[in-house]
Amino acid sequence: MRTFESGSTRNSDENKIDPEGFLSPTVIQAFSDYMNKHRIQADGSLRASDNWAKGIPQDAYMKSMWRHFLDVWSIHRGIIRFDETGKEIDKVEALCATLFNVQGMLHEELKRKNAMNGIYRIVADSFLQPLNTTPENFNISGTATGTQSLSEEMLNHDK
């Protein structure tokens, strides 16, 4: 139990996930800038920011991920890389492109695992929600009482 100077109290956050600690705001900003830049399509139209969530085959993510990783690796080794227009590829740009493919492929894999094991369902707003929402499975704040994270539960379910 935590008690703050104001007198308010909260349960311990010792075993809870900490996205604020796990993620870098600088990286999230750079990735968001990269994604926003690439919303403009070849025909000049603006793609929705969450267009990728409609689904891209994992094979497409894999092929693109390797191309961008090859750029990152080459640049890291001091080899200058150029895109199809002849423009030099920036390392941050290549890292963001790789990150896009990694997170997209992970998204598709989690969707696949969800569909296979039936623990979670994808709802219209693209968030994962537990299927078993009986009151005994949740604490007073409305969060699940299980000790495993979503990814741990999904990965361990098939074992």
pLDDT at 153 over 70: no
57-102 pLDDT, tens digit each: 999 999 999 999 999 999 999 999 999 999 999 999 999 999 999 9
How confident is the model at residue 4, as a pLDDT?
87
Taking the CB of residue 44, how many other CB atoms lie within 10 A of it? 6
Assigned token pair, 27 = 């990286």
DSSP secondary structure letters along 114-126: HHHH-SEEE-TTS
Distance in angstroms (rounded) separating the CA atoms of residues 41 and 58: 21
34-59 pLDDT, tens digit each: 999 999 999 999 999 999 999 999 99
Please state which of the ranges 5-9, 25-29, 119-123 shows the lowest mean pLDDT. Answer: 119-123
pLDDT at 142 over 70: no
